[in-house]
Structure 1
């Protein structure tokens, strides 16, 4: 066999855990969910196709197209939701009564502290379960910090 006939790149097989490579999907607070999620493609049709493929084929390697499509859709969706969350917090900071905005800052700061503590505790959990906990908590912590920054920017824009 000559060198030219060998494949130039190894074939990659995705598995469900590959969906955990980037940050987890953001958590949307119920008080702003209707505004943030309006018009966002939630990827539910693609997810339904993925589950159907997994149900029919019973193993992931036969569902590579569905996994790849869902991963791409979820990444686009999550990026859009994160941008909308930050914009919503910025608008809230600039438009809600000042005392309510300060209370919201305090609430988000408490949430950051709580997530920080849970993340520290999760460092003691071993194996895949520990990884999943840390991955989820780190993503939520990062998103909450960005929301807090955006809220503070909105409050500062009043000055």
Structure 2
């Protein structure tokens, strides 16, 4: 039984590492990547907006321990920012690397060339979904165990 409990503790520590790692990645991405992927001619307003989304997502993921509802918002914002970065990356490859008008050609190129990047994107989405689900579970647990109003 003690061996089984050690595995549960390992899973808990792994979950904390996933949450904190994703929050740190989003936080440093939000603060330091105002100019996305070196595209100097990119619209600064959208870059600042994405940096804000990533920063709020990171704080939401970290505040999950005190307020699970903010963890839910952080998880949704994290998934949104990862999706926006993927779309931007495909557009950037289309415009600056391939110099074509086709979004599909750029997507096929990314699938063919950047397999390691796709693996990391999949890991980011998985971490975002894990954090979102974990916050939802904590929110439901908080709602169930809350005393009835008088």
Q: Taking structure 2 as the reference length, what is the TM-score of the superposition?
A: 0.37
Q: Taking structure 1 as the reference length, what is the TM-score of the superposition?
A: 0.35
Structure whose CA Rg is larger: 1
More helix by share: 2
Which structure would you say has the larger RCO, counting Cα contacts within 8 Å and 6 or more residues apart? 1
